[in-house]
Amino acid sequence: MTHPKATPPAQGAETSGDSYLPDHGNGGYRVRHYDLDLDYRIGPNRLSARARITAAATQSLSRFSLDLVGFRVSRVLVDSRPARFTRYGHKLRVKPARALAAGAEFVVEVRYVGNPQPLGGPWGDIGWDELTDGALVASQPVGAPSWFPCNDHPADKATYRIAVTTSSPYTVLVTGYLAGRGRQASTTTWVYERPEPSSTYLMSVQIGQYVDVELAGGPVPQRAAAPARLREAARYDFGRQRAMMDMAQRLFGPYPFGGYQVVVTDDELDDPIEAQGMSVFGANHVDGLRTHERLVVHELAHQWFGNCLSVADWRHIWLNEGFATYVEWLWSEESGGPPAAELARRWHAEIGGEPADIRIADPGVPGLFDRRVYKRGALTLHALRHRVGDGTFFALLKDWVATHRHGTVTTEGFTALAAEHAGVDLGTFFTTWLDDPALPDLPR
């Protein structure tokens, strides 16, 4: 099935124009900055918050909407003036006292309180979730409105300041740089800033009783936060992350953020969680044996492919997951494991036995996180590497990252750049690998 391409949303529309998830995200404006003050009570799971959102109108607006699920909204201001607002589904509808002119910058302030809950859906529980002792945020793809009002679409990237106040025994980690911390009686306020543009689903808050583990110093500080009982196991399991970082920077260019934070929760998680400058693992992913090392490098790879470079529309998801999967194979080869060519042969045989009913460049909502998007996406890159040669292939990846640094990307943009680097028409190649459901033969 072919899905329509994203179309620009109408004035004030409660749609992003995304071809897969149009109900998430909104039209008529672009967010520039989120400023969030969160006061979280862990026991009762109670969040009291103030959000200040700086945005620019892309057209004249007599109304607009934000994505927000649950909570009681007590006040909405637009440019310091009270605004009318209503709730409908996961939309907060706002009518400012004065219409906003096209191109005008405006500030929305929202006060809200309630018990944050993850959103249920085809991908399980997504968003702000309670741990046995603490909380975590896992927002991909649509969980951000479970904890703050936003324009919830990956292409609307913005900067952030997030302050979280909670009980002092707990550590708070947010996807950003720690800008300040202050204690007041029994609570501590942690302030983080995220100066690089980030998609809403990549912003995360992690709260737990953690100890700090240094993984690597130098130009890119790398740290882990883990329960005390898992300190040494985490130190070992993430012990080769410095070498992974060195490989990734050699192949794809400089690390795009100022540091990298790993969080290991005291609870088990189905899968690790990707966030901007951060990756979150469950206790079940840490055993002191490096059993899950492929996941460690996969999540690190997302800092380039998925976070620095974010998809312009959810149908391009293979640009995140296929690339991160291929980095797993590159690391295996780098670290003395099976070479990428052998892993490509294994996975080609594995998914070759599955139904040929998915198009990698347009997998559909049910196929958004299908393992074939991951593995056949990686196979596409391996076949491209074989087709154009290592020199051209890795020069292409460096150029891809540099050209779109902190921006948004599409499949069409990647295939065009690949053809430019190869100096030949690659249309048939990409049609075969990305658009045709039948799995092509693997080059030998």
Residues of the chain with CATH 3.30.2010.30: 211-303
d(CA 260, CA 81): 40
State residue 121's pLDDT score: 82
Q: Spell out where 217-277 has E strands.
A: 222-226, 260-264, 273-275
Q: Share the mean pLDDT of the chain.
A: 95
Share above pLDDT 70 across residues of the chain, in percent, rounded to a whole number: 97
Instruction: Please give the angle made by the CA atoms of 152, 267 and 294, to the nearest 5 degrees.
Output: 75
Over residues 8-26, mean pLDDT: 78
Over residues 12-16, mean pLDDT: 76
- Superfamily holding 311-435: Neutral Protease Domain 2 (1.10.390.10)
pLDDT at 427 over 60: yes
Q: Any catalytic annotation for residue 374?
A: yes
Token pair recorded at residue 280: 């979150």
Residue 298 marked ligand-binding = yes
Residue 321 marked ligand-binding = yes
Residue 156's nearest CA partner among 322, 310, 280, 344 is 310
State residue 124's pLDDT score: 87
Over residues 109-129, mean pLDDT: 94
CATH topology of domain 29-208: Immunoglobulin-like (2.60.40)
State residue 13's pLDDT score: 72
pLDDT at 287 over 90: yes
Residue 174's nearest CA partner among 184, 187, 186, 161 is 161
Residues of the chain with CATH 2.60.40.1730: 29-208
Residue 248's nearest CA partner among 411, 394, 413, 373 is 394
d(CA 8, CA 19): 11
- Residue 344's H or E segment, with its range, is helix 340-352
- pLDDT tens, position by position, 65-74: 999 999 999 9
Over residues 223-249, mean pLDDT: 97
**pLDDT-derived band of residue 12, with 50, 70 and 90 as boundaries?**
low
How would CATH label the architecture of 211-303?
2-Layer Sandwich (3.30)
- pLDDT tens, position by position, 189-212: 999 999 999 999 999 999 999 999
d(CA 414, CA 421): 11
Given 109, 299, 328, 334, the catalytic residue: 299
- pLDDT tens, position by position, 208-232: 999 999 998 888 999 999 999 999 9
pLDDT at 183 over 80: yes
Over residues 286-296, mean pLDDT: 97
State residue 4's pLDDT score: 41
First to last CA, the chain: 31
- pLDDT tens, position by position, 143-175: 999 999 999 999 999 999 999 999 999 999 999
State residue 11's pLDDT score: 41
State residue 3's pLDDT score: 41
State residue 5's pLDDT score: 46
d(CA 330, CA 199): 27
d(CA 206, CA 226): 11
State residue 173's pLDDT score: 98
Is residue 157 within 8 A of residue 149, CB to CB? The reply is no
State residue 293's pLDDT score: 97
Q: Any catalytic annotation for residue 326?
A: no
Residues of the chain with CATH 1.10.390.10: 311-435
Residue 292 marked ligand-binding = no
Write down the pTM of the prediction.
0.95
pLDDT at 2 over 70: no
